[in-house]
Amino acid sequence: MTVTRGDDGRNAARARRFGVAGALCLAALGWAAGAAANTSNGYNLPLGVTEVSRDIYALHMEVFWICAGIAVLVFGAMIYSLLKFRHSRGAVADTTMSHSTQVEIIWTLIPAVILVVMAIPAAKIILKMEDTRNSELSIRVTGYQWKWEYQYMDGAAGIDIFSTLARDSNFARQLHSGVDPKTVPNYLLEVDKPLVIPSGTKVRLLLTSQDVIHAWWVPDFGAKRSAVPGFVNELWFRVDPGKEGIYRGQCAALCGRDHGFMPIVVDVRTPDEFKKWVADQKAAVQPAAAASANSAHALAN
């Protein structure tokens, strides 16, 4: 194959364009990740508002700095050797050394020790994440194409919420809607009815799905788990007291055409406010239930 200089130039220009496009994509991804979370600066994991999320962050940083240290040492030694022992300075290759048992033992043991150092805290955090004992509030979460259902248990039993994409986001996302998504607050990250939970309470989610695999993910809680049809997966979090507010997440499994349109919004309230919300919800449901029972009775007669 012959390649002319012109082809080379075009290929180089194309490579540069791809490079720029790639960098822009990465920047956009970073921005999107930052926009979706409350406690992220857009470049790193969110610090979060639960103990588990902070544990995950600390572990991530520990591993990051170990990797950074290794990179500095390895690349430093490599670059130093390339410069110091280059041919133009009269370096001559050593052709006599072919094997060193001592070196092999050292470069096997050091990485093994580093792996163990990383595995011990990682295992501790995984065990903590899986420990759903002594939860104070359980909520059954069901994924649908494309919405979430929250059925409360324990003290809030009877409350059943369907949470779907907010109306203005849903309108703006339609083809030729004429609405600039930038003008919609929390575009694609807003729902009609959020999941309401109390702070300082160990909340356990029981996740399942009615159709395909979805995943419930709220970065600020350090919480993400698949919702699989026919299975019940567990997940827990306890939001720190004083961190009441709105937290946002998304379905994190490619679950079909409208996968990007089933966000998660969690409204964290103080335990007292939560109790009041539960009472209001029950009061709103009971007269309606009584009315429908009465009309069914009337129809039967």
Applying CB under 5 A, which residues contact Cu ion? 214, 251, 255
Task: Return the number of the residue (258 or 267) whose C-beta is nearest Cu ion.
Answer: 258
Q: Return d(Cα 33, Cα 43) in angstroms, integer.
A: 8
Residue 166, both tokens: 């907010």
240 DSSP assignment? P
We find the least distance from the C-beta atom of residue 165 to Cu ion, in angstroms, to be: 12
Q: Name the residue nearer to Cu ion (CB basis): 147 or 204.
A: 147
CA nearest 150: which of 221, 199, 203, 190?
Answer: 203
Q: Which is nearer to Cu ion, 203 or 251 (CB)?
A: 251
**With the C-alpha atoms ordered 102, 72, 19, 4, is the resulting torsion angle positive or negative?**
negative
Q: Which run of H or of E encompasses 123?
A: helix 101-130
CB 117, min distance to Cu ion, A = 37
Please say which residue, 44 or 151, places its beta carbon nearer to Cu ion: 151
Query: Which of 156/255 has CB closer to Cu ion?
Result: 255
**Interacting residues of 269 by C-beta distance below 8 A, sequence separation 6+:** 196, 197, 198, 199, 244, 277
Nearer residue to Cu ion within complex by CB, 139 or 251:
251
Pairing of strands 137-144, 203-209: parallel
Q: How far apart are CA 48 and CA 56, in angstroms?
A: 9
Least distance from Cu ion to the Cβ atom of residue 25, Å? 23
Counting Cα atoms < 13 Å in the Cβ hemisphere of 57 gives: 18
Residue type, 39: T
Phi first, then psi: give them for residue 68, nearest 5 degrees.
-65, -40
Which amino acid is present at 78?
M
- Contact assessment for residue 189 and residue 265, using Cβ atoms and an 8 Å cutoff: yes
Minimal distance in Å, beta carbon 215 to Cu ion? Answer: 7
Q: What is the smallest separation between the CB atom of 266 and Cu ion, expressed in angstroms?
A: 16
Give the shortest CB-34-to-Cu ion separation in angstroms: 22
Name the minimum Å distance from CB 138 to Cu ion.
21
Query: What is the spatial distance between Cα 79 and Cα 20, in angstroms, rounded to a whole number?
Result: 27
The residue written with tokens 């950074």 in the block is 68
Residue closer to Cu ion by CB (options 135, 226) is: 226
Strand order, beta sheet including 160-163: 160-163, 147-152, 137-144, 203-209, 233-237
Q: How far is the CB of 214 from Cu ion (least distance, A)?
A: 3
Nearer to Cu ion, 46 or 263 (CB): 263
